Structure 1
Amino acid sequence: MEINGVNFNPQMNPQEMFETQLKVDAHNKENTFEGRQIKNQLDKDDFLKLLITQLSHQDPTQPMDNTEFVAQMAQFSSLEQMHNMSEGFTKMAAFMNNSEAVSTLGKTVQIEVGENQITGVVESVTRGEVPQVLVNGNYYNLEHINAVYGY
């Protein structure tokens, strides 16, 4: 096709298509957009931003129905309470795991790692998200303990 005396071909050759696809894929794999972190899920802040945007762009001659607004605020409140409960449960689970690990100090435990079974006295405990116990000079995750003996 010729436009104003210039040869113009709107079709890409296979090499150009391949290079373009590589660039598109690389761009899509980035986790940022215009300096903002891309998230896969909406959180309470996103919900509030959507609600504020909706309110600020509503038609003044036909404002949002009061019941709809109250329903959205109730959803927001429920979302925030569920988030707070989830954080509380996470903290409680970590505390319980740490307490369980500490309760094994000085006791004989049976640990199973793959096909191996190790028996020994817990000499030390590390705390944190994944508590570990020191048995026979090696650290093992708490989840690998099969049995605790009280002698």
Structure 2
Amino acid sequence: MEINTKMNAADVAKTQMQVDSFNKSLAVNGRTSSQQLGKDDFLKLLITQLSHQDPLSPMENTEFIAQMAQFSSLEQITNMSSGFNRLASMLTNSEAVSIVGKTVDVATENGLIKGTAEAASRGENPHVVVNGTPYEMKQIERIYAH
């Protein structure tokens, strides 16, 4: 089976208009275009491909099944990535809470500061309060046992 990969000028212009329109709709909805395709983008491409296929020469079943398998894999990988991000956030929060009351060295612009971790904030980017100043967890260089 031979696949025609060339588009005529009218199809190129129509496709470019659709892409431009889609990119503008992303900007209007607060999203920005990205160089990475997500599962929604993959599904839109698949639907567009199906809706514009030649009715006299439709997509082979094996091609369609392969693309659906790719979509399913992409969705599972996306879900796993999201789960790993949540797990990493929980671990960082847990680490921040566990050092409260311990002596720590904090890396600052002016060098290392030694002090006791007085409090910890939780969230996506937890902070630890040392000597009355909040620092990001990535700034903690050493934790001393008492």
- Report the TM-score when normalising by structure 1: 0.74
What is the SS of the residue equivalent to 1:139?
Answer: strand
Distance 1:81-1:105 versus aligned 2 partners, 3 A rule:
same
Is the partner of 1:33 in helix, strand or coil? helix
Distance change (3 Å), C-alpha of 1:38 and 1:111: closer
In structure 2, the partner of 1:124 is 119
Tell me the distance in 2 between the aligned counterparts of 1:61 and 1:127: 59
Percent identity over paired residues: 55
After superposition, the C-alpha distances for 1:68-89 in whole angstroms (9 at most, x for unaligned) are 1111101101110111011011
Give the C-alpha shift of residue 111 in structure 1: 1.1
> Within the alignment, does 1:33 sit opposite 2:27 as a pair?
no
1:110: how far off?
A: 1.1
- Structure 1 distance, partners of 2:114, 2:123, is 23
Partner of residue 91 from structure 2, selected from 89, 96, 99 = 96
**Which has the higher Rg, Structure 1 or Structure 2?**
1
TM-score (norm 2): 0.76
Give the aligned length.
122
- 2:55 counterpart of 1:60: yes
User: Over aligned residue pairs, what C-alpha RMSD do you find?
Assistant: 2.0
Deviations 1:82-131 (A, max 9, x none): 11011011101100000000000111111121342111111110111211
Gap runs ≥5 in structure 2:
1-19
Of residues 133, 136, 147, the one that matches 2:131 is 136
Q: What CA distance in whole angstroms lies between the structure 1 residues aligned with 2:115 and 2:45? A: 57
Q: Structure 1 stretches of 5 or more lacking a match?
A: 1-27
- Quick one: which of 102, 107, 110 aligns to 1:112? 107
- Alpha-carbon distance between aligned partners in 2 of 1:124 and 1:56, rounded to the nearest angstrom: 57
Instruction: Quote the Cα distance in structure 1 between the aligned partners of 2:137 and 2:56.
Output: 63
Paired with 2:122 and 2:140, the residues of 1 have a C-alpha distance of 16
Residue 19 (structure 1) aligns with: none
Correspondence for 2:17:
none
